[in-house]
Chains A and B, each alone.
Chain A
Amino acid sequence: MFKKAWLLFLNTFTISMTANSGYAMLGVIKNRFVEKYGWFTKEEMEDYIALAQSCPGPIACSSSMIIGYRAAGLAGAFASVLGVIIPPFIMMIVVTYFYNFISTNPYVRIFIDGMQAGVCAMLLDVVLGLFDGVRKLNKGFYYVMVVLSFLFVRLTKFSIFYLALICIAVAVVKTLLIKEKAEGSL
């Protein structure tokens, strides 16, 4: 059990050090645990990734938590999440030192300000990609949700945490209504 947990820690730690995005990481995780160790089948792994996507927070954390739990119980879950967290944590501490040091330098400032143009373009690309996901659902309901959410943040002063709660409530009511309709038609 603890040997397996240690192995999980070593693997997630090295993967986290080298992979540069959550999804790149999932690819390597899949490769290691399905093909190298044979702990899970490919189908199980796909289910775990779908579950991980339903959790709040980084997908790298939730997926390693789920995989760790299925492989070696709670000890495995915590071992693998620690492995994922430690590398970016240490690196960001170093980065923060540098940032505090150089961000007031006028030349660095001009460079960072210029980078903002690239950031805007990158975010626009991300938003369009996400919107494409909404479009593929092919239902007017989801478009309305996007527009209403946008109006909510731009026009009201309420916190977006309320908006998230409203969205969750809408989803719950919608599934209950669909269930009722399906049962009624029987």
Chain B
Amino acid sequence: MISIWAIFLNFLKIGAFAFGGAYAVIPLIEEQMVTNTGWMTFTEFSDLVAIDELTPGPILVNSSTFIGMKLAGIQGALAATLACIVPGMIVSLLLVWLYTRYKEIPMITEMIRTLKCMSVALIFSVLLKMFMSAVFPKGIGLTNMNILTLVMVVLSFYILKRYKTNPLLVMLMCGAINLVISLIIK
């Protein structure tokens, strides 16, 4: 059993650095939960990203509740969810207090910009990992390539871009196609 305190501290760290939009937190979770602590496998992490997209609510709240619950039940879920929102609560109170005095804070605008640049790079890096593990599930090599997945990624991206379809629908379609084709081939 993982201690509630350890869960709290880990999510406090994630919550404090989750700048730059909803998806920016995905790389942080991957590093902290898969690489650093080993609390999740990469497969569980990939599943979680899909679940986040399937369920309403902020990605960070959904992920922390899910992970906390898996690690230590309801108490874990409470600790993780609380921890991930505490830094944002403190910062937002601080900012609203500064705002009533100064109205504009150029240093913070600049910080948000540089952190956004960082999140582009980080999300792209996680995307590469997820892509590789989906297309080459048994390691990199031409014979191991999952061609169906590759085709689905390309087609899904085209559909998302071209028709602005709801990503949820696209993901469910991918799941359904994969299931149907694997049943036919078997």
**Chain A residues packing against B (C-beta within 8 Å):** 16, 18-22, 47-48, 51-62, 65-66, 69-70, 77, 81, 84-85, 87-89, 91-93, 95-96, 99-100, 103, 107, 110-127, 130-131, 133-134, 137, 142, 145-147, 149-150, 152-154, 159-161, 163-164, 167-168, 170-172, 174-175
**Contact yes or no, B96 A51, CB < 8 A:** yes
| Complex contact A112–B112 (CB within 8 A) | no
With A57-B88, A92-B65, A127-B124 already in contact, the answer to whether A116 and B149 are too (CB < 8 A) is: yes
Q: Is the CB of B96 within 8 A of A99?
A: no
Q: Tell me the smallest distance from the CB of B71 to a CB of chain A, in Å.
A: 10
Given contacts A88-B62, A164-B19, A172-B107, contact A125 B157 (CB under 8 A): yes
Q: Mark B71-106, 1 if CB is under 8 A from A, else 0.
A: 000100100010011011101110110010001001
Cα distance A114–B53 in the bound complex, in angstroms: 14
In the complex, A28→B32 CA distance in Å?
A: 33
- Most chain-A Cβ atoms within 10 A of its Cβ — which of B57, B125, B175? B57
State the CA gap A54–B172 with chains docked (Å).
33
0/1 per residue, B143-154, Cβ < 8 Å to A? 000000100111
Say yes or no for B70: interface residue by CB 8 A criterion: yes
B81 touching A89, Cβ below 8 Å: yes
Taking CB atoms, residues of chain A closer than 8 Å to B99 are 47, 51
Rounded to whole angstroms, the CA-CA distance of A142 and B111 in the bound complex is 12
For chains A and B in complex, what number of residue pairs have CB atoms within 8 angstroms? 304
- CB of A15 to closest CB in B, whole Å: 11
CA distance A121 to B62 in the complex (A): 21
Residue B108 interfacial (CB < 8 Å): yes
Please tell me if B3 contacts chain A, counting CB pairs below 8 Å.
Answer: no
User: Residue among A20, A56, A124, A154 with the most chain B CB within 10 A?
Assistant: A56
Return chain A residues, CB-CB under 8 Å to B85.
57-58, 61, 81, 85
Closest-by-CB residue of A relative to B123 is A127
**A-B CB proximity, top 9 nearest:** A114-B178, A88-B57, A57-B88, A58-B58, A118-B171, A121-B156, A149-B121, A117-B152, A145-B117
Contacts from B to A (Cβ < 8 Å): 13, 15-23, 26-28, 31, 36, 46-47, 49-51, 53, 55-62, 65-66, 69-70, 74, 77, 81, 84-85, 87-89, 91-93, 95-96, 99, 103, 106-127, 130-131, 133-134, 137, 149, 152-154, 156-157, 159-161, 167, 170-179, 182
Give bound CA distance, A167 to B17, whole Å: 11
Tell me if A150 and B171 are in contact (CB < 8 A): no
> Smallest CB–CB gap between B110 and chain A, Å?
4
Most chain A CB atoms below 10 A, which of B154, B156, B173: B156
B15 nearest in chain A by CB position: A57
Q: Determine if B111 and A62 form an interchain contact, defined as CB atoms under 8 angstroms apart.
A: no
The residue on A at minimum CB distance from B177 is A114
- List 28 A-B residue pairs with CB atoms under 8 Å apart, sorted by A's residue number: A16-B57, A22-B22, A55-B95, A56-B17, A57-B58, A65-B93, A88-B62, A89-B65, A89-B77, A93-B74, A95-B51, A96-B65, A96-B77, A111-B176, A112-B175, A113-B137, A115-B171, A116-B46, A120-B156, A121-B160, A122-B160, A122-B171, A126-B23, A146-B117, A149-B122, A163-B122, A167-B115, A171-B107
